[in-house]
C-alpha cells in the first residue's frame, strides 16, 4: 500500500506545529534509530522530553482520529506517539528498514508491531530541494514529496530512504501503527471494499438491501481477520 492522504492537518494545526518547531532546540535523529539504521541516518529530531512534544503529538493523533481515509486504510489498533524530524542541507537517511517492534514511550513497557508507516509533511515542496521520501517496493522505486499537511502511508515492510536535502529545510512528523489486521493484503482488500461501500452509500439509502448486505460482509471479514 502506498496511499496519499491530503489535508490531514488544518491550516491552524499546521501553523501551530511549525511555530513550535521553529523555536525548538533539535537533537540528533539517531536517538530513535536501530543499530543498523543509525549508520544510515543523518538528521535532526525533536527530543521526546521537549516541553511541547506531547502537545504536538496529541494534535496529530486527534487529526488521525477524525480522518476517514486513514482509519479505513490502516484500521489502527495502536499508534506510536508521532515523532518530528528535520533535514537541513546535506542531511539524508539512506535506504533502511524500520524495526518490526517498537516501544511506546511512557507506556510502562508497552510495545507494538509496526505494520504501517506514515510521514506527515510539515513544509511545502517549494521550501526545499531534495528530501524526497523514496519507497522501494514490488512496483519499483517511487519518490514522494507532498504539500505541507498531507501524509503518505505505506507498509513498514518496504525499504525506504530520504534523499539528501540540497536547499532549505524539510520538516515532517513520522510514526508507526499496529493495525488490527496484521496481513497487508487483507488490509488492502478491506480498504477497497470499504471505499466501494462508501461510494454506494452516496447513491443509495443506508437501509437499501445492497448496502446492508455489503456492510454485513465487510464486518464479517473484520471479525475473521482482526487481531485485538
Q: Which of 96, 108, 72 is nearest to 174 (CA)?
A: 96
Residue 66 marked ligand-binding: no
Residue 199 marked ligand-binding: no
Q: Please, are residues 31 and 45 in contact by the beta-carbon 8 Å criterion?
A: yes
Residue 88 marked ligand-binding: no
d(CA 211, CA 194): 11
Residue 146: DSSP 8-state: -
d(CA 75, CA 52): 28
d(CA 117, CA 46): 18
Collapse the DSSP code of 139 into the 3-class scheme (helix H, G, I; strand E, B; otherwise coil) and give the result: coil
Residue 98 marked ligand-binding: yes
Give the Cα-Cα-Cα angle 137, 143, 148 (nearest 5 degrees): 125
Query: Which residues are annotated binding-site positions?
Result: 96, 98, 160, 170
Q: Which residues are annotated as a binding site for Fe cation?
A: 96, 98, 160
* Binding site as annotated, residues for 2-oxoglutarate: 170
Amino acid at each position: 500500500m502506498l496511499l496519499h492522504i491530503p489535508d490531514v492537518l488544518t491550516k491552524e494545526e499546521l501553523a501551530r506545529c511549525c511555530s513550535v518547531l521553529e523555536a525548538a532546540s533539535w537533537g540528533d535523529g539517531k536517538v530513535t534509530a536501530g543499530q543498523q539504521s543509525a549508520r544510515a541516518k543523518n538528521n535532526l529530531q525533536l527530543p521526546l522530553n521537549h516541553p511541547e512534544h506531547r502537545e504536538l503529538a496529541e494534535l496529530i493523533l486527534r487529526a488521525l482520529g477524525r480522518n476517514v481515509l486513514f482509519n479505513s486504510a490502516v484500521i489502527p489498533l495502536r499508534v506510536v506517539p508521532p515523532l518530528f524530524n528535520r533535514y537541513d542541507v546535506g542531511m539524508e537517511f539512506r535506504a533502511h528498514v524500520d524495526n518490526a517492534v517498537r516501544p511506546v514511550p511512557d507506556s510502562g513497557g508497552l510495545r507494538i508491531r509496526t505494520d504501517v508507516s506514515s510521514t506527515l509533511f510539515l513544509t511545502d515542496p517549494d521550501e526545499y530541494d531534495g528530501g524526497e521520501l523514496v519507497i522501494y517496493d514490488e512496483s519499483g522505486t517511487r519518490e514522494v514529496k507532498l504539500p505541507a499537511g498531507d501524509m503518505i502511508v505505506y507498509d513498514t515492510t518496504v525499504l525506504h530512504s530520504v534523499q539528501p536535502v540540497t536547499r532549505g529545510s524539510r520538516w515532517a512528523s513520522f510514526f508507526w501503527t499496529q493495525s488490527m489486521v496484521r496481513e497487508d493484503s487483507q488490509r488492502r482488500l478491506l480498504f477497497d471494499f470499504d471505499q466501494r461501500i462508501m461510494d454506494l452509500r452516496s447513491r443509495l439509502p443506508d437501509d437499501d438491501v445492497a448496502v446492508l448486505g455489503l456492510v454485513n460482509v465487510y464486518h464479517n471479514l473484520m471479525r475473521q481477520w482482526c487481531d485485538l
